[in-house]
Amino acid sequence: MVTPTVIYSGTVGCQLDRVPLDVTHISGNISLMSCSLLTADDLQVFSKLVHVSGHVSIEFNSVLTNVDGLARITSVGGYLTINEHCGGRYRACGDLMDCCVDLTRNNAALANVNGLASLGSVGGYLSITDNSNLSNVNGLAKITNVSGYLHVSGNSALTNVDGLASITSTGGYLTVNNNDALCNVDGLASITRISGYLTIYHNYNLTNVDGLASLTNIGSFLAIYGNSALTSVDGLASINSIRSFLSVFDNSKLTNVNGLASITSVGSYLSIINNDALANVDGLGNISSVGNYLSITDNSNLTNVDGLASITSVSGELSITGNRLLADVDGLARVTSIGDLSIAVRCRFTACHSECAVSMAAATQHDALTNVNGLASITNIGSYLAIAENSALTNVDGFGNITSVSGFLSITNNDALTNVNGLASVKRLGSYLSINGNAALANVGGLASITRVGGYLSISISNTEALTNVDGLENISSVGNYISITNNFNLTNVDGLASITNIGSYLAIYNNNALCNVDGLSSIANVGSNLHINENPALTNANGLGSIISVSGYLSVYVRFYIMPCYPVPGVSVDADEHFAGNNDAMTNVDGFGNITTVGRFLSINNNNALCNVDGLASLGSVGGYVSISYNDALTNVGGLASLAEIRGYLSITMPSYRYVKEDDIVTGRGTKLMKDKNRVTLVLATTLSGLKVPPLIIGTAKRPHCFDYDPPNEGDINLYTHQQSAWADRAKIVHWINKILLPWKRRLVGAAKILLIWDNAPAHNVSNFELDAPAEELEILCLPPNLTSQYQPMDAGIISAFKRRYRTAMIHEYVKVTATDEAYKQALERGETTRKRRGCSTLAQGIKYGQMPSMSDAVNLSGKAWGELTAETVTNCWLKAKCLPATIVRPHADSLSITATSFTPMETNGDASTDELSDTDLPALVADELSDTDLPALVQAMDHISNVVLRSGPPDICEELVEESEVALAEKLQALRFQLSSYEDTEAVTVAMSRLVLEDEVNTAHQAAEEQRVEAERQVENQREVKSLKEIALKYAEAYYDALTQLRLRGEETGEAIERLN
């Protein structure tokens, strides 16, 4: 006998009594989400169901023990999702042959997936994630092909993946991660091809990857990291090429990479990082080229890189960093071409799950590295050359054949380096030259061949204790950017710069204790920006700057209160910013500035204790900004400024005082660092009268803040961030908020139904219809009158202040977490230092979790948290407190669900069902009897049914039907409900009656309330606290329901006309 085909069209939600008992096909989706009373018996309505054209989603059903009622389903057109609290051991889906499977998010009781034993192929993805009690996946043994990705993650009890043994290929990526008990991947032995990438990480008991021995082809990258028990990668021996990058890092017991011996080329980058037991890289011996960069970093037992002997070229960066036992780099002797070479500061890479393009090379922090002779074949550096923090490196003779460096040359913190003669062949630098912190470096004569700088050249010589002069730079005639000479304790002169005639940006000379003159700068005629001369105690004059005739920026002679490292220095011809000369205790005059006629910005002469006159400024005729002469104890007059005819800013002449923050207090002075680090962030916030909150728009100044790379905001929150030059909510950002946030949020809740947006008349709110992605029938904007005070605006009536309080509270709680104990704070600082090193930054990573100032990621996360914690009751209270609403809208008493007749403003009927209107005499009769205490339990249960049955079943459909009801019909149903509530047992009738009363905005309110209840329940379960009773939650919802119903039907004179058009 042929079973008749019964088709149901639409989405099936928790209200299963709408579904025919003999349904065989569903043209739509099955969405059983947060159905708190849903049991396994209820699913028998699907006992004949064989096909679902859309998705099947079963989530957050606390009493559901199995899904046996779905056992006859053979195909699902979309995905199948069985999520949190689905119950015990599922034995359903027995004949399911083709679907997308997602077994995810904390199915704590799920011990097996035997209910999927007949599943033969997966048309989309297969994901097995965060099932803490799942010990095997044997129920998936018949699957031979996965068209999408395969994801096995976070299953703490999973010991093997033998149930995947029949799979031969995946259409997307394959990732196995965070499975704490997983010992091997032998179950993947049949896989020969992966169209996407392969990642195996943070499986702490995984000892080998032999199960991948049949794998020959990977469509993208390969990353193996964080597997603390992994000793070998021999299972990858069949792979001969990597189209993207290959990354092996943080595997503390990995002794070799011999399993990679078949690989001959890497399309993008190759990184071997932080594998503490790795003694060699011989397994990479067949690789001849690396498309982007090569990084061998922080492998503490690595003694040589001979395994890289076949590599002849690296298009991007070559980075050999932090391998403390590495004594030489002879294994790179065949390399003739490199994009960037860096022997520089220690740098640690983290996982990169997408194509990475890097054009740098680094070899850094090697305690045993004494020479770089293995790089003697290199003649050209395509980008930069950095040599840094190699404590045993005595020379750089291995670079003797390099003639040009297209980027910068940086020589930093090499304690044993005595000379740079190995760079004698370098004639051209494309960018800047930096020599910093080389304690034994006595001269820079090895740079004497440099004559030309293709781009800008910044000469920064600092913290070099043995350096007494810069004589090796005498052939440089022009500097495209700045010159900075700082913190050289034994530097007595700068005569080596005598050939320089022009500086494109600033000149900074400060904190050189032995510098007695700047005569070596006498050829400089022009400074493009600022001139700083600060804190050179032995400098008695600035006569070497006598050739400068103009300063386009500022000229300043003063104590270094507000000058940060690498700022420009005063006293030279500056064409851009400012000019500083300060805290030079021995400087008695400024005669070296005698030829300066103009200063483009301000002039500041401050805190020079020995300065007795400013006669050296006698030629100065105009200053573009302010003039400040302050706290020069020996200065008796300012007669030297007699020619000064124009000051475009203010003039300030102040005697010495100690009311200002001193330089030594800049870091610790109360409030100074906070003010300096303060960043602007603007939030766009909006709510509904019934307490619903639109997701906030967060506006910063950076297009993508750096902190998003190493500490991204919570998933979802990052999509709420955008940028504007001043972090302002201008009209473009308001339009962005409406189109990208408000309208999609509204459409998810009420479809195409029209809403009214009320705001003040700020210029940014003046948006036109053609800028918006919404027709006039879907969105109406009402601007409040001009000059309206905050008393009339709900957001100013307490919503914003409540949000700020929650934000500050959340921020303090986060700080308490990292400062509760000395150990916690120490760990936070260590996390910040580790992150800094991984990203190669010179400053600590910003963020509360690192014990530092809040980052933009913190701002985004804390804003989302504070906004989420703001209750609907608080929001509604603020609306009612504001004076923009009519006085007739009132809240029902807290312990009563009755309302007064005066609070109703009858609405016109739409004429479809009745032409009668409610009269004044009808209203008192309708609400005369209040619900008694005995009625409340029935109401609670009814509300629970509404939130979990009606609301999950498609609000737009219900709303469309109810809008067509007349006011009289609704009143009659409310009256009928009052009578039905007296019959406690007849809960089904109560449910039906209540469901007919759900109005459009009420549905939205209840939908939001139900979601908040689910999130709250999740939070409480995670914290192992007792979950609030269902009746308590439903009662709160009942109050919100009645409040929303009242507010929808009671319109005031001020907004009545606008709201009437919505219906």
Q: What is the pLDDT of residues 660-716, one digit of tens each?
A: 444 454 444 444 444 444 567 889 999 888 788 898 899 988 888 878 877 787 766
Q: What DSSP assignment string belongs to 601-657?
A: S-EEEE--TT----GGGTT--EESS-EEEE--TT----GGGTT--EESS-EEEE---
**How would you classify the pairing of strands 693-700 and 682-687?**
antiparallel
Note whether 642 and 666 are within 8 A (CB).
Answer: no
User: Could you give the CA distance from residue 100 to residue 1043 in angstroms, rounded to a whole number?
Assistant: 42
Contact 1061, 1012 (CB under 8 A): no
| pLDDT on residue 189 | 92
The pLDDT mean for the chain works out to 71
Show me where the domains of the chain are located.
266-380, 394-500, 502-661, 679-885, 893-1060
Segment 901-955, tens digit of pLDDT = 223 222 222 233 222 332 333 323 323 334 344 444 444 444 444 333 333 333 3
CA dist 1036 and 872 (Å) reads 11
- CA dist 600 to 173, 589, 590, 627, Å? 59, 22, 18, 12
Helix (H) or strand (E) holding 862, with range, is helix 856-869
How many helices and strands in the chain, by DSSP H and E?
16, 52
**Residue 788 burial by CB count (10 A; 0-12/13-18/19+): exposed, middle or buried?**
middle
747-750-751-753 Cα dihedral, nearest 10 degrees: -110
Burial (Cβ within 10 Å: 0-12, 13-18, ≥19) of residue 758: middle
The single-letter code of the amino acid at 1021 is V
Structure tokens at 836: 């800094």
Q: Which residues of the chain fall short of a pLDDT of 50?
A: 84-106, 343-365, 456-458, 557-582, 657-663, 665-677, 888-1003, 1021-1035, 1037-1038, 1040-1063
The predicted pLDDT at position 212 comes to 92
Sign of the C-alpha dihedral, residues 361, 365, 369, 370?
positive
1053, with CB counted inside 10 A (0-12, 13-18, 19+), is exposed
Instruction: Give Cβ neighbours of residue 235 (< 8 Å, ≥ 6 apart).
Output: 185, 208, 209, 210, 211, 212, 213, 259
- Is the Cβ–Cβ distance between 118 and 94 less than 8 Å? yes
Residue 222 neighbours by CB under 8 Å, 6+ apart = 197, 198, 199, 236, 239, 242, 245, 246, 247
CA dihedral 975, 976, 982, 984 (to 10 degrees): -140
* pLDDT at residue 341, rounded to an integer: 58
Distance separating alpha carbons of residues 998 and 951, to the nearest angstrom: 9
Task: Give the DSSP H or E segment for 410.
Answer: strand 409-412
pLDDT digits (tens, 9 = 90+) for 520-565: 888 888 777 777 777 777 887 778 888 887 667 666 544 332 222 2
Tracing tokens 């002039």 back to the chain, one arrives at 603
Q: Decide if 194 contacts 219 (C-beta within 8 A).
A: yes
Q: Which residues of 720-735 are buried (b: 16+ CB within 10 A; e: fewer)?
A: bbbebeebebeeebbb
CA distances from 634 to 543, 587, 607, 890 (A): 20, 11, 10, 74
pLDDT at res. 982: 42
